[in-house]
Chain A
Amino acid sequence: MKVTIGFEIHEQLATKTKLFCNSPTNYRDAPPNTNVCEVCTGMPGAKPMPVNQEAVDAVIAIALMLNCEIVKEPIYILRKHYDYPDLPSGYQRTSMPIGKNGELAGVKIWEVHLEEDPGKYDPTTGKVDYNRSGVPLVEIVTAPDMHSPEEAREFLKELVKVLRYTGRVREEGGTMRVDTNVSIEGGARVEIKNINSIRGAYRALKFEITRQKNLMKRGRVVKRETRAYLESQMITKGMRTKEEAEDYRYIPDPDIPPLLISEEKIEEIKATLPEAPHLKEKRFIEQYGIKSDDARIIASELELANAFEEVAKVIPPQLAATWIRDEVKRVLEYNGITFKESGITPAHLIELLQLVLNDEITLKTAKKVMELLPEKRTSPKKIIEELGLKKLREDSLVAKACDEAIAENPKAVEDYLSGKKEALNFLVGQVMRKTRGRADPAKVLEMLRERVEGK
């Protein structure tokens, strides 16, 4: 049974002011109904101010990154009429497509639009907050080109990566909203709304496909409908809908003249676009000769990829790549932050790796310093100095630690001498503990062997 999945994705654009007024967009930090004015609360007589140019540019940039053609005819801002408490004017303003016929990760992108976010309405209490009302959104409509929840998830991950790459969407995350349509061969198309994350989309699709398959197994008909995903229960539920299909009575907004995107505008924006992540990945493998897995991970974030290229100018690329893949990513994931948010700079990484290469610190120390970088926001050398982590070069101190370890662990010495080679590793561990990790483990091993065997 063939499954077909398509998406309509909404993400907020990173602008300071709203799409049609000068109210601020940082609605999350604000008490209810404070980031508002007469325009975004639909007061009588309020008119939309001219369209926010930054938002238009953002949508053009995103459409280009999604390999769309940019529409060259006049693009009208339409009024889409429906009655809902979060919609202060009784219509939502949404542009005709700005980009068309794109493609990302094997999925066709039908259309890319600019629109305004409604306010926030809590249906259980009736509370309405218009702080979000009027924040610009990009809307991306895909063809139904995905055939499993896993494929759908991969596409969304790739899309989020590309959107972040453009630097034009809001960084806080958690603002993505997804509507999906899913059908199984022989059944009607079902739309699912109210999905807020990639994980949510995956779960909703999993549930919905099972539900539809079960219906079909029992000989029942899958009817065409709109369902809501209920996050808390991880299920989809039919939404009560009117009998006739909803008619939005689209009209071009008489208060807003159309947009007409020029070739110069497109070129101007193209010049600012970053290389697409999948192209970057390919180039890294070819140019730096690094492993493909490493390249994929490094290219997952634009700032990380840029940092890698800086580091690779000085440090052998594969060492830089391995370090970033293993250590940098470990620290970022542990802290749940992006590279950009971590405050780590390419200079920090170069300094740290050079210390390792010059044998001035141990790998273990380097890892520890790595963990401290996001918190300390200072150079590795300063951190090492502050914590006294400089590698012990005085053999006498290490020698003393070796002697102590041997003296304190006669059993291990005996085991080693009777053929259990791994017993020596235990002793190495003891020495490392005594030197707080500052000794070179290879050196310690050698010193211990000399001493034990020479006994």
Chain B
Amino acid sequence: MGVIEELQSGALSAEENVLRFLEAIEARDGEINAFIEVNPRAIEEARAVDEKIKQGRAGKLAGLAIAVKSNINVRGLRATCASKTLENYVAPYDATVIERIRREDGIIIGMTNMDEFACGSSGETSYFGPTQNPAARGRIPGGSSSGSAAAIAANFADLALGSDTGGSIRNPASHCGVVGIKPTYGLVPRYGLIDLAMSLDQIGPLARDVYSAALLLEVIAGYNPKEATTLRVSQQNYTSKLSADLSGYTIGFAKEFEEYAAKEIIREVKHALAKLEAQGASVVEVELPSLDKALPTYYLTVFVEFFSATRRFDGRRYGYRIEEVCGEEVLRRIMLGRYISQKEYSGRYYRRALQFRSLIKKEMLEALSGVDLIAGPTTPKLPHRIGESIDPLAMYAYDLLTVPANLAGIPAGVIKAGEVGDVPVGIQFHAKPLEEQKILNAMYALEGGRA
């Protein structure tokens, strides 16, 4: 929070801010591998913002350095999706979220590493090599927004954009000990986000503190006339409503969480819940009986949508034909999607998954109906060591607790609850559609309690 004030007061110039991050990246990203590309024009853009600050007409994000996941189009920079497929794809247009960031004078510092086409939960499937967890060296940072979370944890940027289809913001936020928010489906424009699964994808912020996460979210959120799955909500103002007073908040905890997450993780989550009770919240038990169906529902949906989304990567207008150059996990998903979307199998797999999606959505909304928030663990286990051999299904299992929010289209946020050994553990909050403010407030309370 200090940086925002320093920039506004003129104690720190945008140029100085950007420069120190560029120096940090230069010095330390060799080890972390959070970035695929830094913006060569970042300094130039910072100087222009400094002019605006002097003239008193700079926007909300003036001078803040923002790292962007490599599946979001930033004109003139490469949106590689960390794949050889798009190795040379220089984006010819800006995603809507980027237009909004530029309008508020945020500075794109670079494009971050990720799991290839967001297919992964460890950050290891990148064509540009795995990313280190700055908060727990030797371990994976989580994924797929691995580079964005790592950039925040390593202090390479003020803020970052990630995308979350089944936990890709929240999972690395948890493993790296930062704040990450997956907004309500349709709240943040997807125009310019390279698809993993269109019906589940959302762009969201990653940050070191709740205030700046809320700030970035309010800049990017809101109705977008350029797309058809956008929600008709006006400009949001989360920062001004941020409050650590949780009196009147009821927070649900599902007993099923204890079945699926490691004991030491549950212990940290419960510890955090106790802190929230101290801030006025009451904690009650809720039920999520079909939690075990969420993972297969999610993956069978993703395979089909991802297969469809990748048909444009034919190597004719840009890049290479995806099947000829992609990694194993991407190929496996394409194969599966191609198979189960066939006319004769679609009913058995894809449409059945969509039926279960109705069930999960209903259960999540029902569980939320009597409470303000549902809190629980983010991942079932701690991040593994980089390079450790992991079977595909074991990798998918990381997402067990994050996919329900995407299937139901509801918002969810993660903040550090504590540590197991030296490894950060995040607590996850779910809320009803468009109740991001409650998630932010709970996280704000927790942050205050810790500070």
Which residues of A does B touch, CB under 8 Å? 37-38, 41-51, 79, 81, 83, 85, 88-91, 128, 247, 249-251, 253-257
Restricting to B146-189, which residues have a CB under 8 Å from any CB of A? none
Complex: chain B residue closest to A38, CB-CB: B93
Known pairs A45-B193, A49-B228 / 20 extra A-B pairs, C-beta < 8 Å: A37-B93, A38-B92, A44-B73, A45-B191, A45-B194, A47-B192, A49-B226, A51-B228, A81-B311, A88-B317, A89-B312, A90-B312, A90-B313, A90-B314, A247-B343, A249-B308, A249-B342, A251-B304, A253-B198, A254-B199
Looking at B192, B307, B311, B341, the one whose CB has the most chain A CB atoms below 10 A away is: B311
Which B residues touch A43, using CB under 8 A? 73, 91-93, 317-318
A256 and B304 contacting across the interface, CB-CB below 8 Å:
no
Which of B195, B310, B316 contacts A128 (CB under 8 A)?
A: B316
Known A88-B312, A90-B314; contact A47-B341, beta-carbon cutoff 8 A: no
27 contacts between A and B (CB under 8 A): A38-B93, A42-B312, A44-B79, A44-B91, A44-B194, A44-B318, A45-B72, A45-B195, A50-B225, A81-B311, A81-B341, A88-B312, A89-B312, A90-B314, A128-B316, A249-B308, A249-B338, A249-B342, A249-B343, A249-B346, A251-B305, A251-B308, A251-B346, A254-B198, A255-B227, A256-B228, A256-B229
What is the CA–CA distance of A349 and B385 in the complex, to the nearest angstrom? 89
Interchain CA distance A45-B203 in the complex, whole Å: 12
> What is the CA–CA distance of A253 and B81 in the complex, to the nearest angstrom?
22
Query: Which residues in B have some Cβ–Cβ distance to A below 8 Å?
Result: 71-73, 79, 81, 86, 89, 91-93, 95, 190-195, 197-199, 225-229, 304-305, 307-308, 310-314, 316-318, 338, 341-343, 346, 350
In the assembled complex, which residues on chain B have CB atoms less than 8 Å from the CB atom of A45?
Answer: 71-73, 79, 91, 95, 191-195
Cβ of B226: which chain A residues have Cβ within 8 Å of it? 47, 49
- Number of A-B residue pairs having CB atoms within 8 Å of each other in the complex: 103
The majority secondary structure among interface residues of chain A is: loop
Task: Give Cα A254–Cα B357 distance, bound, in whole angstroms.
Answer: 14
Q: Is the CB of A83 within 8 A of B228?
A: no
B168 CB, min distance to chain A CBs, angstroms? 16
A257 vs B226: C-alpha distance when bound (angstroms)? 14
Is the pair A42, B317 in contact by a Cβ cutoff of 8 Å? yes
* Chain B residues closer than 8 Å to A85, beta-carbon distance: 316
Do the beta carbons of A50 and B227 come within 8 Å of each other? yes
Interface contact B311-A89, CB-CB below 8 Å: yes
- Whether B350 and A255, one on each chain, are in contact in the complex, defined by CB atoms closer than 8 angstroms, is no
Out of B71, B228, B311, which one reaches A48, CB within 8 Å? B228
Among B227, B304, B350: residue with most chain A CB under 10 A: B227
* CB closest chain-A residue, reference B89: A44
Residues on A with C-beta less than 8 A from B198 are 253-255
Instruction: Given A254-B199, A257-B228, verify A47-B190 contact (CB < 8 Å).
Output: yes
Instruction: Name A256's closest neighbour in chain B (CB-CB).
Output: B228
Is A47 within 8 A of B314, CB to CB? no
Chain B residues with Cβ below 8 Å from A47 are: 190-192, 226-228
Report which of B86, B190, B228, B341 forms a contact with A44, defined as CB distance below 8 A.
B86
- Contact in complex: A251, B89 (CB < 8 Å): no
Determine if B228 and A255 form an interchain contact, defined as CB atoms under 8 angstroms apart.
yes
- What are the nearest 5 A-B pairs in CB distance? A90-B311, A254-B198, A254-B199, A249-B341, A42-B312
CA distance A44 to B195 in the complex (A): 8
Q: Which of B95, B227, B308 contacts A91 (CB 8 A)?
A: B308
B148 CB to nearest A CB, Å: 16
Question: In the bound complex, what is the Cα–Cα distance between A49 and B190 (angstroms)?
Answer: 11
| Contact residues in B for A81 (Cβ distance below 8 Å) | 308, 311, 341
Contact of A251 among B91, B313, B316, B350 (CB under 8 A): B350
Complexed CA–CA distance, A38 and B95 (Å): 11
Once bound together, how far apart are the Cα atoms of A418 and B74, in whole Å? 99
CA distance A253 to B342 in the complex (A): 16
B350, A247: Cβ atoms under 8 Å?
A: no
- Contact partners of B93 in chain A: CB under 8 A: 37-38, 43, 46
Bound CA–CA A348/B346 (angstroms): 63
For B304, what are the chain A residues with a Cβ–Cβ distance below 8 Å? Answer: 251
CB atoms of B191 and A46 under 8 A apart: yes
Min C-beta distance of B352 to chain A, whole Å: 14
Q: How far, in Å, is B298 (CB) from chain A's closest CB?
A: 14
Chain A residues with CB under 8 Å of B190's CB are 47
Q: Which residues on B sit within 8 Å (CB–CB) of A37?
A: 93
Expressed in whole angstroms, the minimum distance between the Cβ of A184 and any Cβ of chain B is: 29
* Closest partner residue, chain A, to B350 (CB atom): A251
For A254, list chain B residues within 8 Å (CB).
Answer: 197-199, 229, 305
Q: How far is the CA of A42 from the CA of B229 in the complex (A)?
A: 18
User: Given A79-B308, A91-B311, A249-B341, A41–B228 Cβ distance below 8 Å?
Assistant: no
CA–CA, A85 to B321, complex, Å? 12
- The smallest C-beta distance from A360 to any residue of chain B, in angstroms, reads 61
Interface centre among B81, B86, B314, B342 (most CB of A within 10 A): B314
Q: How far is the CA of A90 from the CA of B307 in the complex (A)?
A: 10
A118 to chain B, nearest CB (A): 13
A255 and chain B: residue at smallest CB distance: B198
